[in-house]
Amino acid sequence: MNIKALTLIIFSLTSTNILAANHMMIIGGGGEPACVEGATSGKNARPNCEKTIFDAPMQNLGANLKNGNWNYQVAYNGGHAQSEQILRTDFPNPTKTNSAFTPDRYNQMIADYTAKILAGEIKSGDHLVIIINTHGAEETPDSKTHLIAASGGAMTNFNTGKGSTLVNLDALAGLTKLASDMGINMGVVDLSCHSGKTMSLKKLAPNACIVTSTGPKHYGFSGPSTFGASLLKNFKAGETLESAFLKARINDRDPAYPMISTDENEQIVAEIYSKITPYLYYYDPEADKLTKFMNENSSDMIMCKREHDFKKLFSSINQLQAAANGKKTGFNGEELKRLLTSYKATQDQILQEANRLGAGLTTKKEIIVKKIGPYKTNVKNPPTEFKLELSWETILSSKPDEIIANISKMLNQTKDPYEKASTLAAIEAWKEVKIKKQQMVSTYPEILTAKATIESMTKQIGNNFDTAAKIAIQEKKFYDELYKEKQSLNFNDPCRKITF
**What is the band of 321 on the pLDDT scale with cuts at 50, 70, 90?**
confident
Measure CA of the first residue to CA of the last residue in the chain; give whole Å.
24
Q: What predicted TM-score, i.e. pTM, was given to this entire model?
A: 0.86
Does 9 have pLDDT greater than 50?
no
pLDDT value of position 16: 44
Please count the other Cβ atoms lying within 10 Å of the Cβ belonging to residue 184. Answer: 25
Decide if 304 contacts 471 (C-beta within 8 A): no
Residue 61 region by backbone torsions, left for phi larger than 0, else alpha for psi between -120 and 50, else beta: alpha
Write the secondary structure of 102-163 as one string of H (helix), E (strand) and C (coil): CHHHHHHHHHHHHHHHHCCCCCCCCEEEEEEECCECCCCCCCCCCEEEECCCCCCCCCCCCC
Percent of the chain with pLDDT over 70: 92
Quick count: other Cβ atoms within 10 Å of Cβ 383?
Answer: 11
Confidence at residue 378, expressed as pLDDT on a 0 to 100 scale = 67
Ranking 22-36, 184-198, 270-284, 306-320 by mean pLDDT, the lowest is: 22-36
In whole angstroms, how far apart are CA 98 and each of 90, 105, 109?
A: 11, 10, 11
Residue 46 pLDDT > 70: no
* Structural Rg of the chain based on CA atoms: 27
Residue 379 pLDDT = 66
pLDDT per residue as tens digits for the range 446-464:
999 998 999 999 999 999 9
Distance (Å, whole) CA 421 – CA 424: 5
How far is the CA of 176 from the CAs of 113, 170, 207, in angstroms? 10, 10, 9
Contact 473, 249 (CB under 8 A): no
Helix or strand or coil: residue 344? Answer: helix
Task: Note the pLDDT of residue 15.
Answer: 43
Residue 174: is its pLDDT beyond 90? Answer: yes
Instruction: Report the run of H or E that residue 401 belongs to, with start and end.
Output: helix 400-413
pLDDT of residue 171: 97
CA distances from 263 to 199, 267, 369 (A): 12, 6, 46
Question: Amino acid letter at 18?
Answer: I
3-state secondary structure 370-405: EECCCCCCCCCCCCCEEEEEEEHHHHHHCCHHHHHH
pLDDT score of 325: 66
The pLDDT, as a whole number, for residue 44 is: 47
The SS3 call for residue 30 is: coil
Each residue's pLDDT tens digit, 137-146? 998 888 999 9
User: How is residue 361 annotated by DSSP?
Assistant: G
94-108: average pLDDT: 96
Residue type, 419: E
Q: What is the pLDDT of residue 19?
A: 60
Query: In angstroms, rounded to a whole number, what is the distance separating the alpha carbons of residues 123 and 403?
Result: 61
- Segment holding 343, helix H or strand E: helix 333-357
Q: What number of CA atoms fall less than 13 Å from residue 295's CA on the CB side? A: 22
d(CA 177, CA 376): 53
**Rounded distance between C-alpha atoms, residue 293 and residue 360, angstroms:** 9
Sequence-separated (6 or more) residues with CB below 8 Å from residue 171: 106, 107, 110
Q: Determine contact, residues 317/479, Cβ cutoff 8 Å.
A: no
Q: Check: CB of residue 318 under 8 Å from CB of residue 372.
A: no
Pairing outcome for strands 127-133 and 185-190: parallel
Using an 8 Å Cβ cutoff, are 214 and 226 in contact?
Answer: no
Q: How confident is the model at residue 39 (pLDDT cuts 50, 70, 90)?
A: very low
Q: What's the CA gap between 461 and 243, in Å, rounded?
A: 38
As assigned by CATH, the class of the 16-272+490-497 domain is alpha beta
Per DSSP, the three-state class of 499 is strand
17 half-sphere exposure, CB direction, 13 A CA radius: 23
Weakest mean pLDDT among 157-161, 196-200, 215-219, 286-290: 286-290
Contact criterion met (CB below 8 Å) for 91 and 131? no
What mean pLDDT do residues 414-424 have?
Answer: 86
Angle 234-236-237 (CA atoms, 0-180°, nearest 5)?
A: 150
Strand order in the sheet with 71-76: 71-76, 22-28, 127-133, 185-190, 208-212, 259-260
What pLDDT is recorded for position 10? 43
Q: CA quadruple 472, 144, 52, 234: dihedral positive or negative?
A: positive
List the one residue out of 41, 108, 35 whose CA is nearest residue 75: 108
The overall average pLDDT reported for the chain is 90
Distance (Å, rounded) from C-alpha 180 to C-alpha 200? 14
Pick from 40-54, 388-402, 428-442: least confident: 40-54
> Residue 1 pLDDT more than 50?
no
Q: How many residues does the chain have?
A: 500
Task: Kindly state the percentage of the chain with pLDDT values over 90.
Answer: 76
3-state secondary structure 403-459: HHHHHHHHHHHCCCHHHHHHHHHHHHHHHHHHHHHHHHHHHCCCHHHHHHHHHHHHH
| Nearest residue to 500 (alpha-carbon basis) of 3, 14, 175, 8 | 14
Q: Considering only 3-7, 57-61, 407-411, 484-488, which range has the smallest mean pLDDT? A: 3-7
- Asked if 73 contacts 26 with a C-beta cutoff of 8 angstroms, the reply is yes
